[in-house]
Amino acid sequence: MKTFKLSSLKVIDNEDADMLEQSIPLLDGLIINREDEASRWVVEAYLDKNQYDFFHNLRKDNAEVLIQVKITKESNRPATFITAIIDMNQIGEQINVLFMGTIVDQRKEIIEKKLKALIEQGFQGEDLLEKFKEQI
């Protein structure tokens, strides 16, 4: 397992086909690559108690929670995860929220979309390869 500092946390809501991001003010946090057979990660966010209702409602819906995090420092690129809230604990005037999920490889998604668009435009063979190289 590898453990990193959680630098920022956003919850992404895909309600009504609109992608709404809600930044969550962190007091502290960790992100752990479990390096297990399912490639799961654990994210622990240490938050002010006023965030309890928001996360409690997400958890009781038992829905997948799409989160975007920055690891180690704010200047790093965000990583997106599909998670579930597996636990919440009150710690004095704070809470911790534990997520478990898998990372979404956005680069792969972007490349697949570009390739699909080129194929739909009628490119194939060497022409497809050349046009694809131009775009990436």
Separation of alpha carbons 128 and 123, rounded Å:
5
Residue 125 sits in the same domain as residue 84: no
Separation of alpha carbons 25 and 51, rounded Å:
9
Percentage of residues in the chain with pLDDT exceeding 70?
Answer: 91
Residue 81 sits in the same domain as residue 55: yes
22-63: pLDDT as tens digits: 999 999 999 999 988 888 999 999 999 999 999 998 888 777
Residue 122 sits in the same domain as residue 83: no
Residue 76 sits in the same domain as residue 135: no
Which pLDDT score, from 0 to 100, does residue 106 have? 60
Query: pTM surpassing 0.85?
Result: no
Which pLDDT score, from 0 to 100, does residue 17 have? 45
Give me 30's structure tokens.
């960790």
